[in-house]
Amino acid sequence: MTPIRRLAFVVNEQKVGACDLASDLVALAEAAGVNTRVTHAFPLPTSHLRDVNACCVIGGDGTLLGAAPAAAEAGIPLIGVNRGSLGFLTPWAADEARECFTTLLAGDYVTTERALVTCRCGEGERVAALNDILIKDASNSRLVRLEVFADDELVTDYLCDGLIFSTPTGSTAYNLSAGGPLIHPAAEVLAMTPICPHTLSNRSIIFCAGVKLRVHNLSDAATGLIVAADGRLLPAPAPDAAIEIALSPYRLRLIERRDHSHFAVVRAKLKWSGGAAADKR
């Protein structure tokens, strides 16, 4: 792959060891002749990703989620280095990053693409998320009735705690906890999973990439909604405002090792186990 000559760093200084690791990686990059810049700010300064070849995110999955929309729109691939806990999206451990960083910058890596989901409440700004969009009762104490349309065709109305609209990347997050399916990250689909639906036959629905979804709040007037994009609360929608959901035209590129295996990560992070034959493989 193309060598990286200009590299931005995004460092979550709240994560133990992140600043020391960033100093080490910056030193390795500069010793290899790479121009670097570093920020600890969130959201990212608008100019931070300008004129760079890649961005190294040091923190947890949440840190990478925060950087993903801007990186996708700018066409800048992300290197995720884990100083958090789970590390689905930040697969490089600190010692691995230190050991491999010079060769990675020289072009020893592969890139994969991930879809993002977008959301707009009424006439508000459209925002993007790498994992999911969440719609639920603002007080967290009441059921909501949500009516869903797909390309102007009624799907159904749900009486539930809320709805999760997940990308394939986000299928291992809240979607999985709510009983939704695991989806291969290369799939061009969007999953809708109800949270604790009152009707037990309500299950996840998988939509094709081009679908335009619309959600209406049919709850009584006292029931307001919250809408969150990867955990970031959006301005509260008006009671009669439609909430529009679709896949983004942008794709996020992730820089990974040549031997990276999605299912190896899933097996490790979700603690899957098998028989002796599986262990030998």
d(CA 66, CA 1): 26
Q: Judge if 244 and 262 occupy the same domain.
A: no
Nearest 10 degrees: CA dihedral of 175, 62, 59, 74? 110
Lowest-confidence region among 18-22, 78-82, 90-94, 149-153: 90-94
Asked if pLDDT for residue 211 goes beyond 60, the answer is yes
Give the containing element (helix H, strand E) for 62. Answer: helix 61-74
Q: Judge if 134 and 242 occupy the same domain.
A: yes
Residue 189: which domain range? Answer: 116-249
Per DSSP, the residues of 259-281 read: T--HHHHHHHHTT----HHHHH-
Instruction: Kindly state whether residue 15 falls inside one of the protein's structural domains.
Output: yes
Mean per-residue pLDDT over the chain, rounded:
92
* Beta-carbon contacts of residue 169 (< 8 Å; ≥ 6 apart): 89, 114, 115, 130, 131, 185
Asked if pLDDT for residue 276 goes beyond 70, the answer is no
Confidence of residue 222 (pLDDT cuts 50, 70, 90): low
Instruction: Kindly state whether residue 53 falls inside one of the protein's structural domains.
Output: yes
Q: Judge if 132 and 209 occupy the same domain.
A: yes
How does 38-69 read in b/e, with b if 16+ C-beta sit within 10 Å? bbeeeebeeebbeebbbbbbbbbbbbbbbbbb
Q: Judge if 81 and 187 occupy the same domain.
A: no
CATH number at residue 85: 3.40.50.10330
CATH number at residue 221: 2.60.200.30
Asked if pLDDT for residue 16 goes beyond 60, the answer is yes
Q: Judge if 162 and 215 occupy the same domain.
A: yes
Q: Judge if 88 and 126 occupy the same domain.
A: no
Q: Judge if 244 and 217 occupy the same domain.
A: yes
Lowest-confidence region among 131-135, 142-146, 277-281: 277-281
Instruction: Kindly state whether residue 26 falls inside one of the protein's structural domains.
Output: yes
**Per the structure, how many domains does the chain have?**
2
Is 61 annotated in the active site? Answer: yes
Q: Judge if 73 and 191 occupy the same domain.
A: no
Asked if pLDDT for residue 11 goes beyond 90, the answer is yes
Q: How far is CA 40 from the centre of its chain?
A: 19
Out of 61, 132, 137, 230, which one is annotated catalytic?
Answer: 61
What are 248-261's pLDDT values in tens digits?
999 999 999 888 88
Q: Judge if 237 and 261 occupy the same domain.
A: no
d(CA 106, CA 7): 12
Residue 65, pLDDT score: 96
What are 154-184's pLDDT values in tens digits?
999 999 999 999 999 999 999 999 999 999 9
Confidence of residue 85 (pLDDT cuts 50, 70, 90): confident
Q: Judge if 132 and 239 occupy the same domain.
A: yes
Nearest to 230, CA basis, from 252, 197, 204:
252
Asked if pLDDT for residue 83 goes beyond 50, the answer is yes
Beta carbons of 138 and 237 less than 8 angstroms apart: no
pTM of the model: 0.92
Instruction: Kindly state whether residue 191 falls inside one of the protein's structural domains.
Output: yes
Q: Judge if 136 and 245 occupy the same domain.
A: yes
d(CA 258, CA 251): 20
Q: Judge if 14 and 84 occupy the same domain.
A: yes
Instruction: Kindly state whether residue 1 falls inside one of the protein's structural domains.
Output: no
Mean pLDDT of 213-224: 87
Beta carbons of 83 and 11 less than 8 angstroms apart: no
Compute the C-alpha angle 234/236/242, nearest 5°. Answer: 95
Mean pLDDT of 14-32: 96
Which tokens in the block code for residue 207? 């939509």
Mean pLDDT of 101-107: 96
Instruction: Kindly state whether residue 211 falls inside one of the protein's structural domains.
Output: yes
